[in-house]
Amino acid sequence: MKTISFQKYHGTGNDFIMIDDRVDYWRRHLPQATIRLLCDRHLGIGADGLILLQDHEVFDFIMYYYNADGKESTMCGNGGRCLVAFANSLGIFDQHCTFDAIDGIHKASLQKGQISLGMKNVKVDAKRRDLRYFLDTGSPHLVEFTPLGHKVDFYKKGMELRYDNEFAPGGTNVNFVSILEENKIQVTTYERGVEGLTLSCGTGVVASAIAYAEEMDLSHVDVIVKTDGGKLRVQCERIKHEYKNVILHGPAKKVFSGQYDL
């Protein structure tokens, strides 16, 4: 019987199964159904996604990310932060690292339990419709502003928008944003691949902060984002409708480690 050693991490409630894949190369041998089982909260370990860490010829490591449905997916911001903490625990780097992911190269640093992760540059269509923005922050995100305290069935509406024909064939993640105060917003995310609401979503938080900067016409972007799983911070430089040097700040914590018999 084959056994997988793993560690479980979460970033503001967004949880992931971490596997050091530098030796066994599970990427070659884990079918979609097995990954889906590992992420199942009743029959498996339980997680929003699974991440494999492998060696890279040039950079510190490479990230392979799979959603809870077992499919390899686009970039995951909270997963990237958790992977940085995991790589640090393996002794791969000390304070600063550079790694490869599906959306390109990322730089990150770790200090006092906080992970600062560099994200891709983001261009925003200057035209928005009905308080909605559609952004690519490494993963596709629809951002919709909702009045604070306004009652919305986020699950139902998120599911409808996630499968809207406008975003076919891959669909989109959906973020509902309420403004709490100046430079502080609240975000609820419906994640594709998980097919439900998650406590937090890193790329969604970045998309929401950038949409807020567009909506408020900010010249300096430094936004605190409250999610159901905790607080994150997004900083970046804005040049008209383009955002550069985007950094996602927040905690990443180990929950437990174990072995799973396939």
Residue numbers annotated as active site? 76, 201
> How large is the angle between the packed helices 77-89 and 202-216, nearest 10 degrees?
130
Sequence-ordered list of residues with C-beta below 8 angstroms from that of 153, at least 6 positions apart, any chain: none
Which residue type does 122 have?
A: V
Counting beta carbons within 10 angstroms of the beta carbon of residue 165, is it exposed (0 to 12), middle (13 to 18) or buried (19 or more)? exposed
Alpha carbon distances (Å) from 249 to 90, 125, 202? 21, 25, 9
Sequence-ordered list of residues with C-beta below 8 angstroms from that of 77, at least 6 positions apart, any chain: 117, 119, 137, 138, 201, 202, 203, 204, 205, 206, 248
Sequence-ordered list of residues with C-beta below 8 angstroms from that of 82, at least 6 positions apart, any chain: 9, 10, 11, 14, 16, 18, 51, 115, 252
Report the C-alpha gap between 84 and 109 in whole angstroms: 8
Strands in 68-169 per DSSP E: 96-101, 104-111, 114-118, 122-123, 132-136, 140-145
Paired tokens of 164:
């809207």
Measured at the CA of 176, the angle between CA 116 and CA 216, to 5 degrees, comes to 75
Cβ(116)–Cβ(109) below 8 Å: yes
